[in-house]
Copies of this chain bind each other. A is one copy, B any other.
């Protein structure tokens, strides 16, 4: 449906722009993609010589959007309107054929399933622009767009049946044995591999193909976390001049930014790319921020050296550190450092590799997702079972072979049933295994321990006597949610905790991977703000109660 709509919009646009100042404005939905197509010069090198932009104005805001050259004398400007109603536009270019073109756009309500781009929400979490919570369950398919079309189609089918709502993928290619058998049919630059490139000319066909796939991911509800640079390969991409790097970034942003499901990842394993400095990354990051009119999420992913995610151009931390999600206690630490969402995009992959970065059991993959979740963070998945025909999911897409995906679907369902604001530590730096929203929702994960019971107990913040809770026992691997019979009623136990008035204990099966969910049902309600400041100068009994 989206594709049809998109095609329809294109037709209308072509019509409008060919008439100029046509009476009938084009129509596009909010957060949809509107494209203006213009004919312009094809002499010289239009990628370098021609500057084109449009200013969109809805009477209260102006948005300036860069256009790009798409080859064959065709120029395009893409716009993702973020408000409904009438927008007017006017182009600016350093060529007479392209400048001062005007038109109007009628922006309608978003269609079903279109919630806009994902934004940071509540400091540590994400939501779509329309307010719908976004609970990130990511996966990794680095080179799926360099595979034969049949594999790409199969990848989309697999994704459609998977829990994943984000996929990380490279833009420039990673060389590898599979590629020797199936060389990529498109490259981002004019010229020939391995090193005969013209970095001043892009290959529009490469980008058109990439855009088709971004749009298909969008229609599946999947965010495309696009990796602009990577340390793999010696195609020459890694030693481009700063000028060529900047032009590449601007071109990618001009083409892709109007897709609402785009995220920018400056690099994968940035520190393994020994031909760029931290100053380069900060320049490129700021460039993306400045060039992207829609302020899509921006990150950079580390190898062995942590980037300073405190930098203002970074919207969220994109971390590789598998050991950090072996416990919720360590998972939560990065949150407070940067006060931004933390996404563990690489925590080792589920797989059967002899490399230890791809040898996790399904259980361990699921465990790491739960540790990340209970640490108030988000995790990414990889599936690395090598086969001759298929290589691996994480390198090339195709089919999943691991066992974690259904369990991650189960986790996603639990997250989507949980508080819209996201899950935050309830008793920071004291009880790392419990996350939720004080007084309303609690999720406790027992990890590798295998308790046979759990005494109902809640940290005092947001809790008073007489609150009623229901409790569910969750088996994270067997994917069961078992309600505990009856209700639990809070009664203060000591200076820190409330227990059940009757001291009830929840039975647990003595298996690892169990969790408890406690949800507020009714009864008394805490009258104080759950996050109220507790004065350090209050009497000693109360003074340290924040801790």
| A89 smallest CB distance to B (angstroms) | 41
Do A428 and B232 touch (CB < 8 A)? no
Q: Report the bound CA distance from A336 to B302 in whole Å.
A: 11
Question: How distant is A17 from chain B, measured CB to nearest CB, in Å?
Answer: 45
Interface hits, A331-382 → B, CB 8 Å: 333-334, 336-337, 354-357
In the assembly, what is the distance between CA of A3 and CA of B117, in Å? 68
Within 8 Å by CB of A323, from B232, B323, B429, lies B429
Asked whether A333 lies within 8 Å of B333 as measured between CB atoms, the reply is yes
Q: How many copies does the complex hold?
A: 2
Minimum CB distance partner of A355 in chain B:
B544
* Chain A 307-335 per-residue mask, 1 if CB under 8 angstroms from chain B, else 0: 01010000000000111101101100110
Q: Are A429 and B324 in contact (CB under 8 A)?
A: yes
The interface stretch among A199-207, A399-407, A408-416, A533-541 is A533-541
Contact B546–A303 (Cβ < 8 Å): yes
Query: In the docked arrangement, what's the CA distance between A322 and B431, Å?
Result: 11
One of B308, B354, B547 near A304 (C-beta < 8 A): B547
A323-B176 in contact given A533-B274, A537-B232 (Cβ < 8 Å): no
Q: Is the CB of A327 within 8 A of B330?
A: yes
Chain B residues closer than 8 Å to A544, beta-carbon distance: 355, 357
| With A305-B336, A324-B333, A355-B547 already in contact, 19 other A-B pairs whose C-beta atoms are closer than 8 Å | A177-B540, A231-B537, A232-B537, A272-B546, A274-B533, A303-B536, A303-B546, A306-B336, A306-B337, A321-B333, A324-B330, A327-B327, A327-B329, A327-B330, A330-B333, A333-B334, A355-B544, A356-B430, A357-B547
Which are the 5 A-B pairs with shortest beta-carbon distances? Answer: A330-B330, A306-B336, A272-B536, A333-B333, A323-B429
A-B contact pairs, 22 of them (CB 8 A): A175-B537, A232-B536, A269-B536, A303-B536, A304-B428, A304-B429, A304-B547, A306-B337, A308-B337, A310-B310, A321-B333, A321-B429, A322-B429, A323-B329, A323-B430, A329-B330, A333-B334, A354-B495, A355-B547, A356-B430, A356-B547, A357-B547
